[in-house]
Structure 1
Amino acid sequence: MPDFFHDRKLYYTPIEFAIAHIGGTWKMPILWRLQNNVLRFSELKKDIPHITDKMLTSQLKELESKGLIHRTVYPEVPPKVEYNITEKGKKAIPVIEVIMKYGYDLIKEAGIEYPPLK
């Protein structure tokens, strides 16, 4: 596979390029939650309990800059901001589903009880 540049960064494979868009701990969970819902920051934060405010903010900005989500700001006091997935972002959902299934398979294969009993 030939390497290529985009935004002054060298990519070696299309896989690396895709991971730059949806990879990491939080981007896929954010996209997953937005696939059927328009959510506010506080709703995302509540639904993803281990993410910090700073990390959620940075991940939302990255997803928005890549065109995977859209941010709508309403001119109210206090400001109301909502996030929704774009058509480009929706294309990532089948990929996320496959990765999630693979993760479940690996968990089962490792003999891990999931979800863990509380």
Structure 2
Amino acid sequence: MKNNKEVVHCIVDYGFKRVGGKYKGRILWVLRDSVLRYGELKRAIVGVTPKMLTQTLRELEVDELVSRKVYLEVPPKVEYALTKSGQELIPFIEQLRIWAKNQMEQKNITVNSL
């Protein structure tokens, strides 16, 4: 019988693999307060292509950080929300946001708000 237990060599690396990448943190942050449909996420995540958004949402769903609810209606309606595990990440993302804001202020970097 095969042992299906995953073996990791670094706990921090495991964590970053689940939330790292260009869009994962942004998606988690946008979903922190509400359930959003695909189109709403697309508008909220500036610069993401439909292919990358779909791929990233699937990865977050596989990692059980985001849930996907499909409504059987025409046109199809799909909603995304944070899971309990995803919600647990929000305080850490908030701390990263605060740190980044302080770094940006020190280096006189501004946020491009569209």
TM-score (norm 2): 0.88
Q: Deviations over 1:80-113 (max 9, x none)?
A: 100011100001101111111111121112122x
Which residue, 19, 23, 41 being the options, matches 2:20?
A: 23
Question: Secondary structure in 2 aligned to 1:67?
Answer: coil
Q: How far did 1:117 drift?
A: 8.2
In structure 1, what is the Cα distance between the partners aligned to 2:24 and 2:111?
21
Q: Percent identity?
A: 38
The one of 72, 75, 78 aligned to 1:78: 75
Q: Which runs of 5+ in 2 are unaligned?
A: none
Amino acid at match of 1:73: V
> What residue in structure 2 maps to residue 39 of structure 1?
36
Q: 1:72 to 1:97 in 2, by over 3 A?
A: same
Q: Which has the higher strand share?
A: 1
SS in structure 2 of the partner of residue 111 of structure 1: coil
The residue identity in structure 1 corresponding to 2:45 is: I
- The letter of the residue matching 2:111 is P
- Greater length-normalized contact order (CA 8 Å, ≥ 6 residues apart): 2
Letter in 2 for 1:98: Q
Structure 1 counterpart of 2:111: 115
1:49 CA drift (Å): 2.0
Q: Select which of 37, 49, 52 maps to 1:52.
A: 49
* Amino acid of the structure 2 residue aligned with 1:90: Q
Amino acid at match of 1:115: V
- TM-score under structure 1 length normalisation: 0.85
Matched residue, 1:89: 86
Unpaired segments of 5 or more residues in structure 1?
Answer: none
2-structure distance, mates of 1:103, 1:27: 17
The one-letter code matched in structure 2 to 1:103 is A
Partner amino acid for 1:105? Answer: N
Deviating runs (4+, > 6 A) in structure 1?
none
SS at 2:69 equivalent: strand
